[in-house]
């Protein structure tokens, strides 16, 4: 008997009608002779609505309480899904993250899974039940409710598949799989059949939110192969797996877009050892994720340091930077929101040259100015004006011949 872990995202369980359709698919999977654990997200829009509620009572909600609140989104879906399966004649039991044994650290709103104690899941599976687990949530070792960061139900599914050594992990969503770019941005984007963990990780962490990046990191570390599929049809989807030598033949696998970025420039920073460490230590201590960092060539003992963060972090960052800037004796800070990041990803870049030139050429033909550039072995990313990001993605997508029919 195979063990299958399935995950259904917010749109797939967005209405009670869709929950009934998901219940049918889960039950049919069991009836085909499998043991099934299904991880479900909050119904679409619910997590955002809960965050809005929190902001109505507090400008900066206590993160512990935010987790207690956000976890209710998934708790609603597990109960409804289990009820729907039972109504179809199946036997399902719902479990919150805590009941499923998902133990995390105490970093509220972006907790990391420290371990999973799957005894309850296994006991229920052994009794022939379908187990429905709330995605996105866990508990600390002292019993506090935590959440795993936006999109965290993907991580719940992959982590459970890893610990149960599942035969298959299926991530059901509202598109046919992973595409060469978000199909909502580039209409002629193509579905990718197979993609390596590293490419999926680079795409996810640079804005392709079809998978939560931390879930892909986890999958890579624990060798959990998974398929991204559409919950509204039976198409095969995209397989995310170990890298194979033939994968290097494709130079660019896909393009990611990340809006909502902000560029911060600290002006005239004294150019001596320890200054960058001081700035970024303060930011790291507040758990703010810094993306690109660029330091200019120093002139007369002074330099500028620029970096990017998610725009949502600006408020928190503002409070931290002012005292730090004063302490290090820098001239000031310029904060520029309204920028976005475009990334071109592919493991073929390791063995092919000219990718950066082709990207820059495509953007220059569109008259799009590049503000910052960063590269890794398998990625080239640029920061540009947010208003031009859709145009830039389409130009780059065409330049690398990624579109349907090209
Ligand atoms: P779920 O609620 O099922 O987790 P998400 O909204 O998190 O779904 O992810 C699916 C969405 O990801 C798609 O609707 C699509 O717009 C977006 N997306 C972004 N980049 C890509 C990509 N490269 N391939 C497919 N979908 C993408
Ligand atoms: N409901 C959570 C979110 O909207 C988790 C998820 O959907 O994966 O981010
Ligand atoms: Mg998601």
CA of 211 to the centre of ligand 1 (A): 7
Averaged pLDDT for residues 392-399: 98
Cα 343 to middle of ligand 2, angstroms: 24
166 lines ligand 2 (CB under 6 A): no
94: in domain: yes
Number of the ligand 1 atom closest to the C-alpha atom of 192 = 24
Report CA(47)–ligand 2 centroid distance (Å).
Answer: 7
What does the alpha-carbon distance between residue 91 and residue 93 come to, in Å, rounded to a whole number? 7
Least confident of 16-30, 84-98, 113-127, 239-253: 239-253
H helical segments located in 16-62: 16-31, 46-57
- Mean pLDDT, residues 30-50: 98
Return the pLDDT at 92.
98
The finding on whether 182 has its CB within 6 A of some atom of ligand 1 is: yes
CA proximity to 397, closest of 388, 406, 387: 406
| CATH code of the domain containing 113 | 3.40.1160.10
pLDDT over 70, % of the chain:
100
Atom of ligand 1 nearest to the CA of 177: 25
pLDDT above 90 for 200 = yes
CB neighbourhood size of 198 (10 A): 21
Give the Cα separation of 41 and 153 in Å (integer). 6
CA of 216 to the centre of ligand 2 (A): 15
What are the φ and ψ backbone dihedral angles of 77, each rounded to 5 degrees?
A: -65, -40
* 178 CB within 6 A, ligand 1: yes
The Cα–Cα gap between 175 and 191 comes to: 9
In the chain, DSSP finds a helix count (H) and a strand count (E) of 11, 18
Domain assignment of residue 71, given as a range: 2-174
The yes-or-no verdict on residue 243 having pLDDT over 90 is yes
pLDDT, position 29:
98
**Contact between residue 75 and residue 96 where contact means Cβ atoms under 8 Å apart:** yes
Average pLDDT on 278-302 reads: 91
The preferred substitution site among 155, 170, 173, 226 for testing ligand 1, maximizing ligand atoms within 8 Å of CB, is 173
pLDDT, mean of residues 155-181: 98
- Give backbone dihedrals phi and psi of 23, rounded to 5 degrees, phi first: -55, -40
Q: Is 35 helix (H, G, I), strand (E, B) or coil?
A: strand
In 3D, which of 102, 101, 95, 103 has the Cα closest to residue 78? 95
Query: Is there a domain that residue 347 lies in?
Result: no
* Residue 376 covered by a domain: no
Q: What is the mean pLDDT of residues 283-291?
A: 91
Residue 289: count of CB within 10 angstroms of its CB: 12
Would you say residue 349 lies in a domain?
Answer: no
The residues, any chain, with a CB within 8 Å of residue 39's CB and separated by 6 or more, are: 5, 6, 7, 8, 132, 133, 134, 135, 153, 156, 157, 160
Ligand 2 lined by 135 (C-beta under 6 Å): yes
Over residues 173-179, the mean pLDDT reads 98
Confirm whether 90 is domain-assigned. Answer: yes
Angstrom distance (rounded) from CA 116 to CA 109: 18
Report yes or no on 9 lying in a domain: yes
Q: How many domains does the chain have?
A: 1
| Residue 318: per-residue pLDDT | 83
The average pLDDT across 241-256 equals: 93
Give 299-350 pLDDT, tens digit per residue: 889 999 999 999 989 988 988 898 999 999 999 999 999 999 999 999 999 9
pLDDT score at 297: 86
Give 182 Cα–ligand 3 centroid separation in angstroms. 13
In this structure, the residue with its CA closest to atom 4 of ligand 1 is 9
Q: Average pLDDT of the chain?
A: 96
pLDDT at 360 over 70: yes
SS (H, E, C) 88-130: CCCCEEEECCCCCCEEECCCCCCCCEEEECCHHHHHHHHCCCE
121 with 163: CB under 8 angstroms? no
> Whose CA is closest to atom 1 on ligand 2?
42
- Nearest-10 crossing angle of helices 46-57, 63-87: 150
Residue 66 forms part of a structural domain: yes
Ligand 1 within 6 A of CB of 252: no
Secondary structure letter of residue 193 according to DSSP: S
Q: What is the pLDDT of residues 42-63, one digit of tens each?
A: 999 999 999 999 999 999 899 9
Give the pLDDT score at 399. 97
Instruction: Check if the beta carbon of residue 372 is closer than 8 Å to that of residue 262.
Output: no
The answer to whether the CB of 41 is under 6 A from ligand 2 is yes
Average pLDDT score over residue span 213-226: 98
Of the listed ligands, the closest to the CA of 204 is 1
Residue 179 has a CB neighbour count (10 Å cut-off) of: 25
- Confirm whether 350 is domain-assigned: no
Q: Confirm whether pTM is higher than 0.75.
A: yes
Token output for 86:
């039972």
CA atoms within 13 A on the CB side of 272: 6
**Is there an atom of ligand 2 within 6 Å of 42 CB?**
yes
In the predicted model, is pLDDT for residue 406 greater than 70? no
Report CA(144)–ligand 2 centroid distance (Å): 19
Q: Is 252 helix (H, G, I), strand (E, B) or coil?
A: coil
Query: What pLDDT, on the 0 to 100 scale, is given for residue 315?
Result: 85
């Amino acid at each position: 008997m195979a063990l299958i872990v399935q995950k259904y995202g917010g749109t797939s369980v967005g209405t009670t009608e869709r929950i009934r359709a998901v219940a049918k698919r889960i039950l049919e999977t069991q009836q085909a002779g499998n043991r099934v654990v299904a991880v479900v997200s909050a119904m679409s829009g619910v997590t955002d609505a809960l965050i809005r509620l929190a902001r109505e009572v507090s400008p900066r909600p206590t993160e512990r309480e935010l987790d207690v609140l956000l976890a209710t989104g998934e708790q609603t879906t597990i109960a409804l899904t289990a009820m729907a399966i039972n109504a179809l004649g199946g036997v399902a039991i719902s479990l919150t993250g805590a009941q499923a044994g998902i133990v995390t650290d105490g970093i509220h709103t972006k907790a990391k899974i420290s371990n999973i104690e799957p005894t309850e899941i296994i006991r229920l599976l052994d009794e022939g039940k379908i187990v429905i687990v709330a995605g996105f949530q866990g508990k600390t070792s002292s019993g506090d409710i935590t959440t795993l960061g936006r999109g965290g139900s993907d991580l719940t599914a992959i982590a459970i598949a890893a610990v149960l050594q599942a035969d298959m992990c299926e991530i059901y969503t509202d598109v046919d799989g992973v595409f060469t770019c978000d199909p909502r941005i580039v209409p002629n984007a193509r579905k990718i059949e197979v993609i390596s963990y590293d490419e999926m990780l680079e795409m996810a962490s640079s804005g392709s939110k079809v998978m939560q990046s931390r879930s892909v990191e986890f999958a890579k570390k624990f060798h959990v192969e998974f398929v991204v599929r559409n919950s509204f049809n039976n198409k095969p989807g995209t397989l995310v797996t170990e890298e194979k030598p033939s994968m290097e033949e494709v130079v660019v696998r896909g393009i990611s877009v990340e809006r909502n970025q902000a560029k911060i420039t600290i002006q005239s920073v004294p150019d001596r050892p320890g200054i960058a460490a001081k700035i970024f230590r303060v930011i790291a201590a507040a758990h703010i994720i810094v993306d690109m960092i660029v330091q200019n060539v120093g002139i007369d003992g002074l330099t500028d340091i620029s970096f990017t963060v998610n725009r949502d972090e600006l408020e928190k960052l503002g409070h931290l930077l002012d005292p730090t800037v004063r302490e290090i004796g820098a001239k000031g800070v310029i904060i520029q929101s309204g920028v976005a990041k475009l990334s071109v990803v592919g493991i073929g870049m390791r063995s092919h040259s000219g990718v950066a030139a082709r990207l820059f050429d495509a953007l220059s033909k569109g008259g799009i100015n590049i503000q910052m550039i960063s590269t890794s072995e398998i990625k080239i990313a640029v920061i540009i004006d947010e208003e031009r990001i859709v145009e830039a993605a389409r130009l780059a997508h065409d330049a690398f011949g990624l579109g349907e029919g090209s």
